[in-house]
Structure 1
C-alpha cells in the first residue's frame, strides 16, 4: 500500500534506510562545521589592519619616542602603516624621533608586513599545534599567490629559509662594512646591518640614518648589498624558490619566473640609463660625482623604484623628467607574491603582450610559447584600471588640499600606492588630510586592489545566464 506523495514503504521498516552519501566540498564542510568565517581576502585585510593598529599603539608609548610626550596618533599611525605596508614614507625622522625600542617595533612591523600577516599566523599555528587548519591554508595561499594548498608546510619552510639566508647574509656584509670601514662599534654595526638588511629585503626603505643612504652614495660595499636584497625581495618568493631548485634548467622555468626575470633585467637597465643620463650634469644630484659614482648612484636609484625607499641622492632636487620616469617604474613595481608593490611586472607584461597581439591582429595572446587564459586578460585590466583610479584620486585630493605642484604630488601618491617610499621631502609638511590619503594609498597598494575589492564584496554568486553579444566601436 502506498500513500500519495510519500511512495511505497521501504524494506526494513524500523531501521534506518541506507542512503547514498552526498559528497560535500571540503571547504564548504569546514565552513559548515566551524560556522560563518571570514573569506581569505577579508582575513588578510583584517590581519593587516590589526597589525597597523597594534603598531600604532606601541609607537605612541613614551618609551618608543625620544620626546617626553610620545608620538601623536597620526604620526604613529602613518609610521606603523608605512612599516607594515613596507613603504618607507615618514612624517618624522625615523633615526632621531624614535628610541631603540621604537626602532625595534618598526623593524618587527616591517618583517611581519613584508612576509605577510597570514604567513606568520600559519607559522605560529604550525609551531603551536603542529598542524595547519584549512582556513590557514586558504588564507596563506591567497596571500602568497599560491595555486595549491597541499604542500603548505614546504612553502612556509622555503619562505623562512630564503628570508633568513638573504637577510642574514646582507646584514653580515653591511655590519662588517659599518664596523671596519666607518668606525662604528661591533654592537652598533651589527644592529645597523640587521636593520638595513631586513628593511632592504622587505623593500621597506626605512633607514637609521637621517639622510638615508646619501652618505654612502659612492660606496659599493654599502650600496650593492642593499640593492641585491631589494632585487631578490622584489622577484617574489615563487621565483626565488624555483631558481633555488632549477637555476640550471631555464627551459623548465614557468611563465611567471620568465616574465619576472626578464622584466626585472629590462627595467633595471632602462631605469639606470634613464636616470643617469638625465641627472648626469645636475649639480644637486649626480653632477658632483665622478663617472663611476654617477653610474653607481643611478643604478641605486633605479633599484629603489622596484618599490624600496632608500635614496643616495636628493630626490627633491631631481629633474621633473626623472620624477616622471620614476613614476612609471614605481607604478609597475616588482614581482608578485614577494615584498614588492606596484601593479606587478607580470600584470604589466600581460597588458604589453595583449597590446602587441592586438596590433598584430592575432587571436590568442602568446608569451614564451604559452597561451594566456582570457581570465588573466580581465584580471590584468582590472588591476591596472583600479590602480590608476586609486593613484589619480589620491593625487587629485592632494592637489585640492595643498598648493604644491603636480609633479611632486603625483610622485608622492605613486610612491605611496607602489609601497616605494621615495619622497621629494614633502610628506611631513602635508596637512592631516593629505597624510591620511597617503595612508590609504599605502594600505591599498600593499594589499592590492583585487584583494581589497574581494574583501569588501558582500557576496559572490555565479550568474547562470548570458546576454546576447554586441560589439561597440572601440578606438
Structure 2
C-alpha cells in the first residue's frame, strides 16, 4: 500500500479499479440485450473506453448492450470524466468539511489546481459545472428528439440524457450505430452537443480562472490565456481544413447545402479534438482530412478536463519555445509572462513520450494486420488521444491489437497526468552541477 501513497500512482490505480469493476459489471447477463454472459474482451475493451472517455467500440452500443448495460457505460463515462479522486474529494468535503494533505495532493494531480488552497473550490466547481451543463444539454436534446423525431418521450429523454453525459465527458459513446450522422443537418442537435464538448474539454482550471476573474481578462493566468488561444486556433484550423478538403466530396460535405456544410464542418472540428462523435462518415473522408484529424486528435483539449491528447497547453508551450529560438531570445514569452523552464521540460517530455507510444503501437498493430497504414495510424492516434473516432476497423482488428488500443486509451487518459506529477513530486536538488557543454543540434 505504501506504493500507492504517491498521489500520481493513486490516480492511475483509481482508474484501473474503475475499469476492472466496469468489466465485471458488463460481463453480467443483465448487461446484454441477449441476456447472456458477455465476452471478457468485449466487456474489458468497452469498460476501458468508457472510463477513459474514449468512445472506441467493437460492438454496437445501442443493440449489443441492454438498458442496464448502457447505464453502466454511462456511469463509467461519468466517473472517468469527473475523476475518481475529484469524486473522493467531494465526498470528503461533504463528510468531514476538511481535507487531509495527502487527499489534497492526490486531487491536485487530477484537477491540476495551481495551489492546495484551490482544491475545495475547484472540486465544487467541477461538480456544479458537470451537473448544470449535463442537465441543460439533456433538456435541449430531449426536447428536440421528442418534437422532431418519431420517438416516445421516454426514448427521447433517455437519448437526451445519454448523449448529454457522453458529450460533456467527451466520451463519444452514442446509442446510434452511425454516431450522429443522421443528425448532420440538424443544428438543434449538433449545437448543444458542441457546447457541452467544449465546456467539458476546455479544462477545469480554465473554468475556475474564468469564474473568479471573468470581468478582468488582464488577470487571467497564463495557462488560461494559452489554452483559450490554442483552442481557438485549432477549432478554426479544423473548420477551415475540413471545408477545404471535403467541400466537393459527394460522400461527405459535397452532398449538403451551404449552411449544412458549415454546421457539419464546425461540429467535426470540435469533436475531432477529443469528443469522438461524428456527423460525417470518417471512413469516407479524404486522406487529407484524415491527416488533419491526426493533428487535432493528438493535441486534444485542455488540461484537467474531460479531454485527452497531449493537451493544448503543451503544444502552445512548444510553439513558444520554437518562436523564442528562432528570434534568438533566451526566454519563451507570451502575454507579458515568461514560461518557466520546468513547464518547458514537461511539455517536451509529454510530447516525446506520447509520440513514442503512438509510433510503437502503430508498428505493433501493422505487424498483426494487413490494413492500410493510414487507417492504423488513425485508430492508434484516436485511442491515445481518447477521441473515439474510427475509420471502421476497430471491430475487425485481432484481439491482440484491441488490447494494445485499450492500453493506449488507459495511458492516454492517465499517463500524462501521472508523468507530469511524478516529475514535480520527485524533483531533487543536487548538491552539484556538471560543467556545461553545447552538443551540435541540427
Change (3 A) 1:388 1:207: same
Structure 2 counterpart SS, 1:448 = helix
Deviation at 1:241, TM superposition (A): 2.1
Task: Quote the residue 1:280 is aligned against.
Answer: 247
1:178 counterpart residue number? 145
8 Å CA contact 2:109–2:421 kept in 1: the answer is: no
Counterpart in the other structure of 1:3: none
- C-alpha distance after superposition, 1:72-111 (max 9, x if no partner): 1110110000000000000110111000100110111001
Kept in 2, the 8 Å contact 1:383–1:450? The answer is no
Q: Is the 8 A contact 1:330 1:420 kept in 2?
A: yes
TM superposition shift of 1:132: 2.1
Residue 88 in 1 paired to residue 52 in 2? no
Aligned to 2:235, the other structure's residue is in SS state helix
Equivalent of residue 379 in structure 2, options 405, 412, 420:
412
CA distance in 2, matches of 1:387, 1:393: 10
Structure 2 residue aligned with 1:103: 70
- What does residue 294 of structure 2 align with? 327
- Whether the 8 Å CA contact 2:184–2:280 is kept in 1: the answer is yes
Aligned-partner SS, 1:222: helix
Which of these residues, 5, 9, 13, is aligned with residue 42 of structure 1? 9
Q: CA deviation at 1:462?
A: 4.2
Q: Determine the structure 2 residue equivalent to 1:18.
A: none
Post-superposition shift, 1:247? Answer: 2.3
Matches within 5 A, 1:1-80: 38-80=5-47
- Compute the TM-score of the two structures, normalised by the length of structure 2: 0.96
Kept in 1, the 8 Å contact 2:172–2:276? The answer is yes
Give 1:181 deviation, angstroms: 1.1
Going by fraction, where is helix more abundant, 1 or 2?
Answer: 2
Rounded Cα–Cα distance in structure 1 between residues aligned with 2:361 and 2:123: 35
SS in 2 for 1:150: helix
**Structure 2 residue 166 is matched with structure 1 residue 203:** no
Structure 2 segments unaligned to the other structure (5+ residues)? none
Unaligned runs of 5+ in 1: 1-33
In the alignment, does 2:424 pair up with 1:427? no
Deviation at 1:125, TM superposition (A): 2.3
C-alpha RMSD of matched pairs (Å): 1.9
Q: Give, in whole Å, the separation in 1 of the partners of 2:366 and 2:177.
A: 28
DSSP-derived class of the 2:304 partner: coil
Q: Which residue of 2 aligns with 1:11?
A: none
Hey, what does 1:269 align to over in structure 2? 236
Instruction: Kindly indicate whether the alpha-carbon contact (under 8 Å) linking 1:206 and 1:310 is maintained by their aligned counterparts in 2.
Output: yes
1:45-444 superposed matches below 5 A: 45-444=12-411
CA distance in structure 1 between the partners assigned to 2:420 and 2:120 by the alignment: 28
TM normalised by structure 1 equals 0.90
Distance 1:204 1:55 in 2: 15
1:463 Cα deviation from its structure 2 partner: 3.1
Tell me which moved more, 107-116 or 285-294.
Answer: 285-294
Number of residue pairs the alignment of both structures matches: 442
Q: CA deviation at 1:459?
A: 7.5
